[in-house]
Amino acid sequence: MNKRVRVRFAPSPTGPLHIGGVRTALYNYLFAKQNGGDMLLRIEDTDSARFVPGAEDYIVEALNWLGITIDEGVGAKSTGNHAPYRQSERKSIYRKYVDQLLEAGLAYIAFDTPVELEAKRAEIANFQYDAKTRGLMANSLVLPADEVKARIERGEQYVVRIKIEPNEEIKVQDLIRGEVVINSSVIDDKVLFKSSDELPTYHLANVVDDYLMEISHVIRGEEWLPSAPLHVLLYRYLGWTDVMPEFAHLPLLMKPDGNGKLSKRDGDRLGFPVFPLNWKDPKTGETFSGYREAGYFPEAVVNFLALLGWNSGTDQEIFSMQELIDLFSLDRVSKSGAKFDYEKGKWFNHKYLQNKPLEEIADLFQHILVEKDIIEDSEKVMKVVGLVRERANFITELWAQSSFFFVAPTSYDERTVQKRWKAETPRQINELIAVLNEITEFNAEKTEEIVKEWITASEYNMGGVMNAFRLSVVGESKGPHIFDIISLIGKEETIARLKTAVEVIGGN
RNA sequence: GGUCCAUUCGUCUAUCGGUUAGGACGCCAGGUUUUCAUCCUGGAAAGAGGGGUUCGACUCCCCUAUGGACUACCA
């Protein structure tokens, strides 16, 4: 009786994949992998008017980057035996089911134009195309059969609407919310098919494809909950109730400020990405930032997103994809919408930055250095990264934390100069130069020992000398242990920087 | 307006009738670091309101309030 678990992520290519959509894809993936099932990617492009070039590639690339692998469908390695997986390419499939519904009297043809419908809505408050109003409209239920035929032959555009019987309590079993009951009277006679482009609408295409593709679980956003009863009805009308998939409606991702669901423009408005990858709108030229380009690790994004609406029931916060697959369960998905907490997202990335192997971080950082025309051997880069990574959240912040390892300061932070550069400082720095010059074994331990001995012996103020030393080498009051820095940049460079500081800042 | 869904610290959440209501992010304080961060320790911080049910409710039920989704020839 247990059928194979098959889930699908079914976005429409109307733009870049939103972070909420990414989470839906992730949950589908986790559920599929946990149950040894299949993850399909189907493109729902039944609205020819809203197609955006590049959106499909974007979706595939984003899922790829995140490590959400597709077993079947668009973007999968092998084609799969339910092809095609783009609804626009499945055009010929749907007509048959439309006719089946029409013949059974469960759907009907309607000629009302958008203009006429709009007029009706203006005329009747809360107008809904349903059992109460369809007798007033231009459809095959009221028009004589020969006129319907004539109109179609004349080439008049029409749509096919589902015929919903009023006053029935329709039950939807939801894996997250339990039983949801909706009275059929509040559902309107939804359009299932339009003659203008010979394409079904979402509702029909979705049900037909899920049936044909043997989908076992429909895991989608909560925005679909109100139309779930319609889908249940469609399964019944088509005679597929016994193989109807189970439903799970996920809570939505909300704006961090104010109210409403997270949307396209919130990200750049509030200073964080809401898309996985950068996106440039081909029509408007508008650009939106993505997590990848913002310097995030895909693992951190996955971890962060997984916990926005789901938890393991333990105190664990850091999960690998494999752990998520093992632990995920739909009944631990929360029911209410989650506000998007960008600060926590940064923290996740910080964690991954600390825990990843040094070689990997150094390798990534090398790319940034190369862009700045800095060529360094990987051994030094690795040492630098080891010293500064803990103060960064992103690879991209590593440069700001470590530039002084590669280039001498070109200016000195004014406030630090005021605070740390005293009248006696130039003399002390000159002495320091001489002390350092004598050291043959120029490593962190040795230099620290000798320098501190000299400061103590000279009865200088330890803090005074040390801070001026740092200012001269780094340019400001920041960075790792000063002796670690000088051992890496070397004796000559250290002395050169000290000399420059004395010259430039001078007597202040 | 109608329908549906939801409601624990500022945020993400644990708790599946009996807990000093726990953890994490963020925030604040102290400590470490003769810098800045990191890090460590500590702290402040929550059951929307009202009725029930029960020996006992954050937990179950009802009402109210609030938030959200949907209400297209879009998905």
pLDDT by residue (tens digit) across A19-39?
999 999 999 999 999 999 999
Strand B, CB < 7 A, residues 66-85 of A: none
pLDDT in tens, chain A (508 residues): 468 999 999 999 999 999 999 999 999 999 999 999 999 999 999 988 899 999 999 999 999 999 999 999 999 988 789 999 999 999 999 999 999 999 999 999 999 999 999 999 999 988 999 999 999 999 999 999 999 999 999 999 999 999 999 999 999 999 999 999 999 999 999 999 999 999 999 999 999 999 999 999 999 999 999 999 999 999 999 999 999 999 999 999 999 886 788 988 898 888 899 999 999 999 889 999 999 999 999 999 999 999 999 999 999 999 999 999 999 999 999 999 999 999 999 999 999 999 999 999 999 999 999 999 999 999 999 999 999 999 999 999 999 999 999 999 999 999 999 999 999 999 999 999 999 999 999 999 999 999 999 999 999 999 999 999 999 999 999 999 999 999 999 999 999 999 999 999 876 5
pLDDT by residue (tens digit) across A304-317?
999 999 999 999 99
Contact between the CB of A197 and strand B at under 7 Å: no
Per the CB < 8 A criterion, the answer to whether A101 and A192 are in contact is: yes
Q: Which residues neighbour A242 within 8 Å (Cβ) at sequence distance 6 or greater?
A: none
Enumerate the active-site residues of A: 264
The pLDDT of residue A508 is 53
Strand B, CB < 7 A, residues 396-435 of A: none
Residue nearest to nucleotide B70 (CA to C1'): A226
User: Any idea how long chain A is?
Assistant: 508
pLDDT by residue (tens digit) across A429-439?
999 999 999 99
Strand B, CB < 7 A, residues 287-346 of A: 307-309, 311, 313, 315, 317, 332, 334-339, 341, 343-344, 346
Give the per-residue SS3 of A286-311.
CEECECCCCCCCHHHHHHHHHCCCEC
Contact between the CB of A191 and strand B at under 7 Å: yes
Q: Which residues neighbour A53 within 8 Å (Cβ) at sequence distance 6 or greater?
A: A282
The separation, in Å, between residue A344 CA and nucleotide B27 C1' comes to 13
Alpha-carbon distance values, A282 to A65, A210, A273, A481 (Å):
22, 31, 19, 49
Q: What are residue A189's phi and psi, to 5 degrees?
A: -75, 85
pLDDT by residue (tens digit) across A119-169?
999 999 889 999 999 999 999 999 999 999 999 999 999 999 999 999 999
Contact between the CB of A248 and strand B at under 7 Å: no
A350/A393 Cα distance (integer angstroms) = 4
Domains of chain A: 1-73+251-355 (3.40.50.620), 89-250 (3.90.800.10), 356-403 (1.10.8), 408-508 (1.10.10.350)
Per the CB < 8 A criterion, the answer to whether A473 and A482 are in contact is: yes
Per the CB < 8 A criterion, the answer to whether A376 and A398 are in contact is: no
Q: What are residue A94's phi and psi, to 5 degrees?
A: -70, -35
Per the CB < 8 A criterion, the answer to whether A499 and A473 are in contact is: no
Q: Which of A336, A335, A316 is closest to A326 using CA atoms?
A: A316
What's at A448, amino acid-wise? E
